[in-house]
Amino acid sequence: MTGRLKLFLIAIFLSLPFWWGANLLERNLEDFFAWRQISRNPQIWLAQVSLDQKLRDAKPFRNNEIAPLELEGKAGLSLFLGENGQEKVLFELNQEEKLPIASLTKLMTAKVAIDNYDLAKEVTVSKEAILQEENFGKLQAGKVFEAKYLLYPLLMESSNDAAFSFAHDYPGMSLGNFVSLMNKEASELGLTNTFFANPSGLDPEDFRPRSPDNKINYSTAKDLVFLTKSLFDKPIIWEILSTRRYNGYGPELVNNNLLLDSLSGVIGGKTGYTGKAQKCMILVTRAPKNSGNLINVILGSSDNFGEMRKLVNWIQTAYKW
């Protein structure tokens, strides 16, 4: 190394503290003048804070580079619930159209049972409950369970037997009174386009006993979002909806929500199907960057899992978080 190069490197090394000090001084001066400006004109600072807050509240922003979603279904809705209380509709399709809701009904059945029953009280499953239409029948007539246990087959496997047993077999309750409580709860929640004819969501011709007026359970995507919001203070519902397998009594229960294992951030969901309603689904997920929750609803689809996966994935890319 030549002498000149050595002197050059030594000079650079010795000058580093000076430049570091100069940069620090510059930053301190900038901060000093900025705070002096704020002290003289505090409205400038307040306006900036307000703008920053408005920008945070406005998120997520629509990414117009992503094409609109074409959802296969009769109705759909995705609502963002932010951590600071803001709400924003991110997708909607016929959100106020009245449609059959099949086993999405059972979310209201669970709510009414939790709000009105002693869940530690024993319930004897009746023969009438076992006569309900379904293809797995893990409950047996004459078996005695705590009311709390019936929530598991009701929500995990969408048991029509459990729904009927809640409405018919709980001591002091009757089918008619339970359905009245369901409609009363819907009215109190402001679900003006929702009606319940039975506690399971079965089409009228499949429900036992047959209703003489042939009425069907119906709601809208918008009303179902409000119903789902009302369940956030019922932790047992979300505990069950997020449970994959349960061995509390007898045969193992397996959650029929296939998206629990194939989508990240799933909090819980409920599926439904009848011939008239087709396939339906409600799914609650964590929003990107843990910024809040998403309530997603699809009604009248031929592929509720596939379309729900498509909706959730689209929300993540179609908006800037």
d(CA 154, CA 138): 11
Phi, psi (deg, nearest 5) at residue 93: -145, 110
Q: What angle do CA 62, 64, 65 make, to 5 degrees?
A: 130
For helices 160-168 and 147-156, what crossing angle results, to 10°?
150
Residue spans of beta strands (DSSP E) within the chain: 61-62, 75-82, 87-93, 99-100, 122-124, 144-146, 218-219, 245-246, 253-254, 266-274, 278-286, 292-301, 319-320
Q: State the DSSP code for 195.
A: B
**Residue 49, CB-side half-sphere exposure with 13 Å CA sphere:** 6
Residue 259 belongs to what H/E stretch?
none
Query: Do residues 96 and 220 make contact, with C-beta atoms less than 8 angstroms apart?
Result: yes
Active site residues: 103, 106, 158
Give φ, ψ of 168 to 5 degrees: -115, -35
Gap between the terminal Cα atoms of the chain? 54
Query: How are the residues of the chain apportioned to helix, strand and coil, as percentages rounded to the nearest 5?
Result: 45, 20, 35
Residue of 191, 115, 100, 187 lying closest to 151 (CA atoms): 115
User: Does residue 281 contact residue 305 with C-beta atoms inside 8 Å?
Assistant: yes
